[in-house]
Structure 1
Amino acid sequence: MSSPAMMLRRFCCFSTAVSPSTSSSSSAPTAKKKPLVFLGSPQVSATVLDALFNASSSPDSPFEVAAIVTQPPARRNRGKKIMPSPVAQHALNRGFSPELILTPERAGEDSFLYTLRALNPDICITAAYGNILPSKFLKIPPLGTVNIHPSLLPLYRGAAPVQRAIQDGVKETGVSLAFTVRALDAGPVIASQRWEVDDRIKDLSF
């Protein structure tokens, strides 16, 4: 069974394959990696973030994680302490700079969009971010924004696709990589991976 992380690694390899080739001569300058911004919030999104970190650490990777966008800190657990989102905490545990973890209340805030433009990302990757992305956001990355959605689009668009698939008793579902547009989960599908429904699927509550 493939995973969202494995699909993302294949997507990254594809991006490497189609990027302009550079000379293998030792005297040639190393190409600068392109900035990528990741958007995600719950614990399940940390799997995708790990795939991005691991892929970007490769010397021949065409990109690097320039920033992470996630939900603001909130009261969690029994103690109701104000804590960062699971993705933010995971990034901090991996040594990612806290200054590059952005937590806007809304993705359409002018101050946030100003910061995003300054980062100049070539592409954005989302996985259960939990915030609507406005047109002003979608126009910023020249290569677009790619969403990782746990269904075989166009089936089960929107929230809780895994739970709805299980409730419907389907025998097969999957994960899709699709470009983000203003309409909900309606962008062009880049790739998809089919899975048989079993207990492992229930852990993917994007």
Structure 2
Amino acid sequence: MTGDNNHTVVNNFVVGDGPKPLSSVYEREIRYLAAADFQGRESELAAMGSFAEGDDPTGTGYWRWLAPAWSGKTALMAQFALRAPDRVDVLAFFITARLAGRSDRTAFLTTVQDQLRAYLRDSDVDCTDYGGFCDALSRAAEQARSRGRRLVLVIDGMDEDSGVASAASGYSIAGLLPPTLPDGLHVIVAGRPNPPRTERRRARPPTPSRRHQPPSHRVRCRSRRA
């Protein structure tokens, strides 16, 4: 999603001059989690923007913020998802354990499937399994490249993934992320250090990542879990 606010809503999806994959319903959820009065973090947002636009020295396509509770991770991720650089399109999921049905791979696939259907303008996109999810991501990345744009998948709250602790709905969300990303797609994830030991290996991005050092100031957040 770009940050120009010039959009209309058709059949519950935000549409306009360019692709805007966030559904209007999920955009409202992100706004609920976002900071009421976001201030600062210019350097972090600039670094994320450069990465999303293709600046990736490691060549992995993955960027990982690690920071303790109350450091403003969710506010930062929400700010980026809602106001990404103009040439960057965003798919997003905020893992939220305190909200029913918002913290496992089933919720992730359902939410991202809706966004990919809107982005590709294809109601038949099916992300109910790993193969369908990866195929849709590849199609979306190819579409972004063909339009001179970049696609970024933003996932916040990796440590709150209920599938990591219980495996009640399969495996972790991180376990769905492809080891090799298609050209044109980058992934930014955030979470607290030291996730539960169960499934710890799969709770981490499948490639090397960048570690976030919390800044000395905070963002005033409506959310209490960042």
What interval of TM-score do these two structures reach, taking the shorter chain for normalisation? 0.3 to 0.5
With normalisation by structure 1, the TM-score equals 0.39
Max radius of gyration: which structure? 1
With normalisation by structure 2, the TM-score equals 0.37
